[in-house]
A and B are shown apart, each in its own frame.
Chain A
């Protein structure tokens, strides 16, 4: 039973549905990832939406990461971290509510979004962002372009990143979750620059794992760093190699010494949580850091203005607005637009996603309603040890007064309460920020799920259904697995227009084995044409100026089966594109019987394969930054797609592969 809290301890007044779910013990916290399950978080990551300076927050030590441009204000979304040492003897959600209530200046309060807690040992005691980087050295050749890479498990000492003189091409690196030094130029974690990497390579020779241990890049006592680099291969190593490495396992073109790399290692468990919640601060601050250090490199190398910059960001989640107006997308768009004013050759390259054939997206059109209701099946598999999430997005500015969403459980689930929610604001809640409403799905007083509605960013209604695991997890709660039916009922409300639709997305819930989280992917089932791959793009790649890269299968020239596609509606029998579409494609499978692309393993000399559009994006970044260093436009030389078979619709092909392919063969 979800206990009612006094107003000042209600996290749902200050924070959104995901925050309420993962921080509340009666709801999803027992199944959240380890950082959330810590007894109490005093060091937090957060973002501030809209203009403002988070340092106006009271009662907390607030820090801005290196920002670009460096002003504290004027950003669409500002990432920041804060520390609050006040003793609060309450459960985490209540303590966080209390902190948010007292922390926020009146103007800022509605716009602070909590992220993951930070490990206290990653907090830098003396944050000195203006200090010069002591061990940075000017590259021997003046840079012509910068490659940024944001990922996990980065093997930065790998020989693939050395220049022709044996010095590293990685100019700056930020390990966001590493054990902090007493003083640093980053607010949390640790910055490592090229001179230090060279010195480490000299000191440790071929023993790269010892090198990583010596700087805290392998650290069993820091859960967000952990022993990931002890593994044979990591996602980040693979991507950093494809985007910026040279060597026998890597494709051309060879990257010259005039391409410098700025890399950011996210918390290594960033892939753990299945909600997409809690990561924006790390991602946005990584982007700002790369932009800021790119400026610094240009300045210190005597380059006038800004250098061309290609940032590879092979990450995403699946549920979200998909209209370019999520917090992440708004921030990416603003940064791209601003930097392109001073340096047009600026790109943030992202994969389209790997969910095309996963049945994780559905479109419910006006014609799908019968007698005012529409139904979509949500199949939740047994033995899923993580929370599962479904999002329903209503048309922008649509007023759903009178609408309701109901859950019909699988047979044998027993008597349940809290199976329906009105899509309207809860007048009792007195929320700070977006209008919201919450209902708890319960059986015998035990929570099984949370239904929520919120008027997201004041412009679009969203319904989220969050469910506890179907597996035995050691708590006294378990969700009945099977086919749950989502019934959307418009009641006495206004119908949606003939050309409008409601869109459903599931959050990713698969299981990176290295994390041992035990997730199982649920999927949607519906009437013919309702559940579809078109429209299942990653939820953070829809910023208009982001570069979206789809995956192509070598040999056949077909889209990789998993490569997520842009939105297509069928109106009057004809497909019509909606929302962001892939810009172009790059190889992500070498062929039908050779899935994935080869790249680096963790240690110099080792190799690994990775399957997914992440690799396609990295290949595109390699090509684009190479173009930039040659003085060409970033997408110069885009190759045509293979010829269409007769009868294939061009628009379908474009929604899968965009308008061309990266001219790199493997």
Chain B
């Protein structure tokens, strides 16, 4: 009715020839609904992601490939190792009382915790949030691929006394998707904070980001749904995903192929960075640097986020 009431007011002239959008121009990304850009990020990330499983006797491995190269190789943990790790899961249970609220609030993507450290707000940090979300989605997809290939039982399926404080999710235990996502986001944010160059207290903030990634991972062990080795595998995978995202963004993120053949150890961020401790945990990282190919939507997103610098 509104159209009929108003149309005659527009006159009878021939419509004008429009000023055209530039095909393929990155400025078009800003015109898209966020979900549409989301589709583009997923497409760009997955365009070069491959995976394979290798079985040799009792040794089962899952390999995540990026643009044709083997980036992460995870060996499936033995049943005995899972049994040994349940004791560590039980040891963490007394922390449930003081970490309960935190654990429940981290059931989904714990983006607010990263925002807290970097002072992000949706009014001023829209594209930074978008980059974080795109990274989390890439990490979640990658984790589910590897989890399914390795098919590892959850702690409460091994030891009935674990009694998790939250429902055990409907997918495999190893690697932890929470750890994968947290370490992927950490890797991307470390680069973004560096690119901003605007925080006078950058070192402290990065240290807190690392502490947060560790805590998000460990909280899942406190909750009773992950072994510490799941965090090792997730952190290894997550760092690779983060580097792959940075490559898609056109950034250079140095790092070599990782192989994890986990041992019965607890998980700590420090140990992940310490060559001797990570070797003892069964992690080896190749020295030859790998890099993923840049893609336009991610590159555009990076430039937008890099323009949202905070601090001083």
B270 and A207 form a contact (CB under 8 A): yes
Q: How far is the CB of A152 from chain B (nearest CB, A)?
A: 14
Instruction: Provide the bound-state CA to CA distance between A231 and B98, in Å.
Output: 8
Give me the 4 closest cross-chain CB pairs, A-B, nearest first: A220-B91, A232-B98, A210-B270, A514-B94
A-B contact pairs, 24 of them (CB 8 A): A206-B207, A207-B270, A210-B268, A210-B270, A213-B268, A220-B87, A220-B88, A220-B91, A220-B266, A226-B91, A227-B91, A227-B92, A227-B94, A227-B95, A230-B95, A231-B94, A231-B95, A231-B98, A232-B98, A513-B97, A514-B94, A514-B97, A515-B94, A516-B94
* Besides the known contacts A213-B268, A220-B88, A227-B92, 15 further A-B residue pairs in the complex with CB atoms under 8 A apart: A206-B207, A210-B268, A210-B270, A220-B87, A220-B266, A226-B91, A227-B91, A227-B94, A227-B95, A231-B94, A231-B95, A231-B98, A232-B98, A513-B97, A514-B97
Interface residues of B in 257-292 (CB under 8 A from A): 266, 268, 270
Q: Which of B235-266 contact A (CB under 8 A)?
A: 266
| Measured CA separation A227–B99 after assembly (Å) | 14
Contacts of A227 on B, CB cut-off 8 Å? 91-92, 94-95
- CB contacts (< 8 Å) of A232 on chain B: these are 98
Distance (whole angstroms) from the CB of A204 to the closest CB of chain B: 9
Q: Which of A530-546 contact B (CB under 8 A)?
A: none
Total interface residues on A, using CB and 8 Å?
14
Q: Which residues of B contact A210 (CB under 8 A)?
A: 268, 270
Q: Which residues of B contact A514 (CB under 8 A)?
A: 94, 97
A496-515 contact mask (Cβ, 8 Å, vs B): 1 or 0: 00000000000000000111
Interface residues of B in 80-110 (CB under 8 A from A): 87-88, 91-92, 94-95, 97-98
Q: How far is the CA of A581 from the CA of B91 in the complex (A)?
A: 42
Q: How far is the CA of A226 from the CA of B88 in the complex (A)?
A: 11
- Determine how close the nearest CB of chain B comes to the CB of A510; give it in whole angstroms: 16
Q: Which residue of A lies closest to B218 (CB)?
A: A230
Please name all residues of chain B whose beta carbon is closer than 8 Å to the beta carbon of A515 when the two chains form the complex.
Answer: 94
Interface on B for A, CB 8 Å cutoff?
Answer: 87-88, 91-92, 94-95, 97-98, 207, 266, 268, 270
Q: Who on chain B is nearest to A207 by CB?
A: B270
The CA of A513 and the CA of B87, in the complex, are separated in Å by 20
Shortest distance in angstroms between B228's beta carbon and chain A's nearest beta carbon? 10
**Alpha-carbon distance between A210 and B268 when the two chains are bound, in angstroms:** 9
Cβ–Cβ < 8 Å partners of B268 in chain A? 210, 213
Minimum Cβ distance to chain A for residue B229 (Å): 15
- CB neighbours (8 Å) of A516 from chain B are 94
* Nearest CB in chain A: distance from B42 CB, A: 36
B158 to chain A, nearest CB (A): 18
Interchain nearest-CB distance for B274 vs A (Å): 10
Name the distance in Å between A232's Cβ and chain B's nearest Cβ: 5
Q: How many whole Å from B176's CB to the nearest CB in chain A?
A: 19
Q: Interface 1/0s, chain A 198-230, versus B by CB < 8 A?
A: 000000001100100100000010000011001
- Provide the bound-state CA to CA distance between A227 and B266, in Å: 12
- Return A237 CB to nearest CB of chain B, in Å: 14
A220 CB to closest chain B CB, in angstroms?
Answer: 4
How many Å from the CB of B218 to the closest CB on chain A?
9
Give bound CA distance, A226 to B93, whole Å: 12
Query: How far does the Cβ of B291 sit from chain A's closest Cβ, in whole Å?
Result: 31
Q: In chain A, residues 7-30, which have Cβ atoms closer than 8 Å to a Cβ of chain B?
A: none
A212 nearest CB across to chain B (Å): 12
Report the Cα distance A68→B64, complex, angstroms.
64
- Report Cα–Cα, A207/B268, bound state, in Å: 11
Q: What residues of B have a CB within 8 angstroms of the CB of A206 in the complex?
A: 207
Residue of A nearest to B97 (CB): A513
Contacts of B87 in A (CB 8 A): 220
Question: Contacts of A513 on B, CB cut-off 8 Å?
Answer: 97
Distance in Å from the Cβ of A486 to the closest Cβ of chain B? 36
Residues of B within 8 A of A213 (CB): 268
Roughly how many angstroms separate A226 CA and B97 CA in the complex, as a whole number? 17
In the complex the two chains form, what is the Cα distance from A514 to B98 in whole Å? Answer: 10
Q: Which of B87, B91, B94, B270 has the most CB of A within 10 A?
A: B94
For B92, the chain A residues whose CB sits under 8 A away are 227
Q: State A206–B97 Cα separation when bound (angstroms).
A: 25
> A209: nearest residue on chain B (CB-CB)?
B268
Nearest neighbor of A233 in chain B, beta-carbon distance: B98
Residues of B with C-beta under 8 A to A220: 87-88, 91, 266
Taking CB atoms, residues of chain A closer than 8 Å to B266 are 220
Which residues of the partner chain B approach A230 to less than 8 Å between Cβ atoms? 95
Q: A515 to B97: give the CA distance in the assembly, Å.
A: 12
Q: List the B residue with the shortest CB-CB distance to A223.
A: B91
How distant is the Cα of A316 from the Cα of B87 in the complex, in angstroms?
32
Residues 229-272 of A at the B interface (beta carbon under 8 Å):
230-232
Q: Name the A residues within 8 Å of B88 (CB-CB).
A: 220
B221 to chain A, nearest CB (A): 11
Task: Give the complex CA separation of A97 and B123 in angstroms.
Answer: 74
Q: Return the chain A residue nearest B93 by Cβ.
A: A516
Q: Which A residues are CB-close (under 8 A) to B98?
A: 231-232
Of all chain B residues, which has the CB nearest A204?
Answer: B270
Q: How far is the CA of A99 from the CA of B81 in the complex (A)?
A: 39
CB distance from A434 to the nearest CB of B (A): 39
Within the complex, the shortest CB–CB distance from B220 to chain A, in Å, comes to: 15
CA–CA, A213 to B91, complex, Å? 14
* Complex CA–CA separation, A434 to B238 (angstroms): 67
In Å, the complex CA distance between A149 and B94 comes to 26
Give the distance in Å from the alpha carbon of A61 to the alpha carbon of B87 in the complex.
Answer: 33
B207 (CB) vs chain A CBs: closest residue: A206
Q: In whole angstroms, how far apart are the Cα atoms of A230 and B268 in the complex?
A: 13
How far, in Å, is B96 (CB) from chain A's closest CB?
Answer: 10
Q: Which residue on A lies nearest to B90, using beta carbons? A: A220
A213 to B95, CA, bound (A): 17
The residue on A at minimum CB distance from B94 is A514
A260-298, CB under 8 A of B: which get 1 and which 0? Answer: 000000000000000000000000000000000000000
Please report the C-alpha to C-alpha distance between residue A220 and residue B267 in the assembled complex, in whole angstroms. 13
Closest to B274 in A: A210
Find the B residue at minimum CB distance from A210: B270
Residue of B nearest to A205 (CB): B207
Cα–Cα, bound, A515→B94 (Å):
8
Question: How many Å from the CB of A316 to the closest CB on chain B?
Answer: 24
CA distance A230 to B96 in the complex (A): 12
The distance in angstroms between the C-alpha atoms of A516 and B96, with both chains bound, is 11
A226 to B94, CA, bound (A): 11
CB distance from B83 to the nearest CB of A (A): 16
Least CB distance, B217 to chain A, in whole angstroms: 14
Rounded to whole angstroms, the CA-CA distance of A207 and B277 in the bound complex is 16
Q: Distance (Å) between the CB of B101 and the closest chain A CB?
A: 12
- Give chain B nearest CB distance to A224 CB in angstroms: 14
Q: Please, how many angstroms separate the alpha-carbon atoms of A540 and B266 in the complex? A: 40
Q: Measured between C-beta atoms, what is the minimum distance from A223 to chain B in Å?
A: 10
Task: Using CB atoms, name the residue of chain A closest to B204.
Answer: A206
Q: How far is the CB of A244 from chain B (nearest CB, A)?
A: 25
A220-B221 Cα distance, complex, nearest whole Å: 14
Complex: A227 Cα to B95 Cα, angstroms = 9
